[in-house]
Structure 1
Amino acid sequence: MISKYFRLAIIYCLVCFSCVPTKVKTETSNNLAATALKPFGRFFINPSQQLELISSAAHFGFSFEGSGCALFASIPNSEGHNYLQYELDGVYQKRIKVHGNAKEPLVISAPGPGKHTVWIYKATEAHTGPIIIKQINGTNLTPLSRPAAPIIEFIGNSITCGAAADPSEVPCGTGVYHDQHNAYQAYGPRVARALQVNYVLSSVSGIGVYRNWNSDGPTMPQVYEKIDFQSGNPQLWDFKTFTPQIVSIALGTNDFSNGDGKKPRLPFDSVNFVTNYVRFVQTVKSKYPTARIALLSSPMINGANRTLLQNCLKGVKNSVDVLNPAAKPVELFFFQPMQARGCSGHPNVEDHALLAKELEPFFKKLLR
């Protein structure tokens, strides 16, 4: 059945992953099973031996020879859609929509013959649902590993996800929430690429430390250990999979939020915030005892709340440092205020570039 779909894809070029608008023939000499891939980020090998990309910017790479190859991808929701994005030969290309009812493979076409490298990324966050990778067909396929380098784990909310950042295809206020997600262009992956390190995103839109954007929970401390950040999922993430040198935590935007203005919302509780934040940092340290911890403020909080958040983060740092006297101290980074230009007041891809540039010296110093 797979070979039938692959022939259809080659004949009709049903889905083309190239900026070059030409029909490309691909000769298949082998296939790469999902279990042979070497994913980075939160993932799951399901009972059907397929790879499920879970977290924002979860990614894998492979090389092929010739003018193209075919990727078999799907999502659990037959009526929905999700997004991948990809690099070809080290150059970012674009986002690609994965339809729930798609039967044909996605064809990645190269501009010429020879050997080519591809890195596939999940553009959306864990709560959007997994993207399932079944296999890849092509010529002389080889799975790629990430180069040996330090790892930064970026924990955060919608900003860290790259949510609402890219309205280039679906304008703000239209479509569904994840239509404007672009995890690859978010500040975390940008910083990591600039510093030539590896990264994992552990982020959920609307989530907070002791309360969320418009609810009391489940908060990040309550879902961080779950493989997909869903409180009802009994499956836990194996924290031995990756060992970050730095864990960056950027939470607080949603704790300060007034919500939708309809649901009753108590004033911000700084004691509750600091207490829960300290407990969460201790949880992170229990997973990665040698990692440096960096607490980031929010570029979306200004005025008196900005000062209050900064003071709260200083309180978290002081408490954690006292609890761990033998460890390196917690580091703090305070963003400059930003007038975000993305959808619903979020940073857009250009804003994320500015945030990343602001962060680079900070993380460069920590990596030393």
Structure 2
Amino acid sequence: MKFLAHYALVAASSLALSGAAPHPTAKPVTTLPATALQPYGRTLLNQQKQLELISSAAHLGFSFEGTECRVFATLPAGQDHNYLQYELDGVYQKRLRVAGGAAPLVITAPGPGKHTVWLYKATEAHTGAIVLDKITGQNVRALPNPRLPLIEFIGNSITCGAAADPSEVPCGTGVYHDQHNAYLAYGPRVARALHTNFVLSSVSGIGIYRNWNSEGPNMPQVYEKLDFQEKGTRQWDFKTYSPQVVSIALGTNDLSAGDGKTSRLPFDSTRYVSSYLQFIKLVKSKYPQAQLALLSSPMASGQNRALLQRCLTAVQQQTNAAYPASKPVATYFFQPMQARGCSGHPNVEDHAILAKELEPFFSKLLR
């Protein structure tokens, strides 16, 4: 060790004597621990001081200098793979496949300088959490979330952005979450267009009183759970956020004919309306000041579309009568859509159409 120190001293002296300028050194790589991140969405800082991204499009921002940074992400036991996706300097890039025990994810910038990254969970809560341990890079720093109004989007697979993106794994291949793209779903698109924050509270196949191919657990039964699992042991802290608008888009799966295998009774409009009213009571207990917006389904057409609109109108009228001092409930009825994604879902281009359709509606509510 003394020899190395002496050699370094001699080398430095030689440079000084010769008049040569020392080469500039690269800025040191720094580490941003999970505890320093400032996430948005349903997340958890676990006992190991790791950040678990749980809900669809749960996200966080950071900056770095130079041409690359590294994201150290792992998966809890039982998961084979999951997906993150990211923006670099305000431009959406791509999805990143996270595999258990894999090397860190490398994010590369096209040139030197300071860069910003916003990292999103591409999949829904039922897919499983993605665990972030740390981020490394030159002068890596956490970014705070903008102080903007918040919209919470409650919904099903459509709101999740499920089955929307077959660009890497074609429809009918892989596993269900291989085509998830929460970032390009209609809710985050609307939020970005209107310069608001957003959270997604969404579960594929879920409904107000029954699900796509089962009687439950439905959204009212899992909404208070951190991971939207009926048997989940952790409750979500609703004091974390105060949304200005709560959007509810549930009905597609209640109306569904099911999977053709599970026994299923005809749609019960009375039960749907009463269950919806109970769910609104629950939401209002969490966010008493929020404006409620009830959305229909772009997948409903013909008689089902008319039936859903009548049910939502009944929910709207009865809620307004029950809460005369609150902001009136708003409704929006989608135009029917021939979806082009996997298994009859909207694809990313369809979500762009839905978002454009919704922008004036939400813009008015935010004003």
TM-score, length of structure 2 as denominator length: 0.92
Instruction: Report whether the alignment pairs 1:51 with 2:51.
Output: yes
- In 2, the alpha carbon distance for the partners of 1:355 and 1:366 equals 17
Task: Kindly indicate whether the alpha-carbon contact (under 8 Å) linking 1:153 and 1:200 is maintained by their aligned counterparts in 2.
Answer: yes
State the 1:77 CA deviation: 3.3
CA contact (8 A) 2:79 2:128 kept: no
Identity %: 70
Which residue matches 2:85?
A: 85
- Report the alpha carbon displacement of residue 28 of structure 1 after superposing the two structures with TM: 4.6
> Partner of 1:299 in structure 2?
298
Alpha-carbon separation, structure 2, partners of 1:263 and 1:114: 57
Q: Deviations over 1:272-292 (max 9, x none)?
A: 000000010111111011100
Q: Report the Cα distance in structure 2 between the residues aligned to 1:77 and 1:28, rounded to whole angstroms.
A: 34
Residue aligning to 1:35: 35
Match of 1:354 in 2: 353
Say which SS state the counterpart of residue 210 (structure 1) adopts. coil
Name the SS of the counterpart of 1:32 in structure 2.
strand
Superposition TM-score, scaled by structure 1 size = 0.92
Match of 1:273 in 2: 272
* Aligned equivalents of 1:363, 1:145: Cα separation in 2: 24
**Aligned equivalent of 1:209:** 208
8 Å Cα contact 1:29-1:139 kept in structure 2: yes
Q: Which amino acid aligns with 1:329?
A: P
Mark the runs of 5 or more structure 2 residues left unpaired by the alignment: 1-25
Distance 1:247 1:260 in 2: 30
Contact 2:27 2:139 in 1 (8 A): no
Deviation at 1:29, TM superposition (A): 2.6
Q: Please, which runs of 5 or more residues in structure 1 have no aligned partner? A: 1-25
Contact 1:277 1:316 in 2 (8 A): yes
1:139-288 matches, cutoff 5 A:
139-288=138-287
Change (3 A) 1:277 1:78: closer
> Following the alignment from structure 2 to structure 1, what is the Cα–Cα distance between the partners of residues 55 and 226?
9
Deviations 1:135-188 (A, max 9, x none): 011111110111111000000000000000000000000000000000000000
Q: In the TM superposition, what is the alpha-carbon distance from 1:78 to its structure 2 partner? A: 5.7
Partner of 1:314: 313
Aligned-residue Cα RMSD (Å) equals 1.0
Q: Within 2, Cα distance between the matches of 1:157 and 1:327? A: 26
Aligned residue pairs, count: 342
Kept in 2, the 8 Å contact 1:246–1:294? The answer is yes
Quick one: structure 1 residues 271 and 140, their matched pair in 2 at CA, closer, same or farther if it must change by over 3 Å? same
Give the secondary-structure state (helix, strand or coil) at the position aligned to 2:318: helix
Confirm or deny that 1:115 pairs with 2:114.
yes
Task: Out of 120-129 and 318-327, give the one that drifted further.
Answer: 318-327
How far residue 101 of structure 1 moved from its aligned partner, in angstroms, is 3.0
